[in-house]
Amino acid sequence: MIHTWANIALIFLITLSIVAWAVPLVLLFFSIKGMRGLRERTDRLIPQAQQQARQTATIVEQGSYKVVHPFIRMHAWWHGIQAAIHTLHRQQPAHINRHEDEVNS
């Protein structure tokens, strides 16, 4: 009778150890299989995502150029006017200014 209980206990412990090893191995197997599938899908989808990102960047760049271009032209025009005024002001001979000061006094 004791041998029977010992055999039952031994079978129970063997079963527990198999389950203790089998569950992590099954989880590991399916996680590796899932990661492989995910990688394959990712490899297929990344070029599409990159193309969409490039198209989006191009559209945003074109839109921002359309919005900012008039301001850039106006800014350049204004600085051109300022430079011309500054150049004309510097080119006046100093004796003309002195002569006008004497006439006005």
Show the 3-state SS of 61-82: HHHHHHHHHHHHHHHHHHHHHH
Q: What does pTM read for this prediction?
A: 0.46
Residue 58's pLDDT band (boundaries 50, 70, 90)?
A: very high
Where helices occur in 1-105 by DSSP H, the ranges are 2-91, 94-104
Residues of the domain holding 9:
2-104
| Domain count within the chain | 1
pLDDT tens for 79-97 read 999 988 888 877 765 555 5
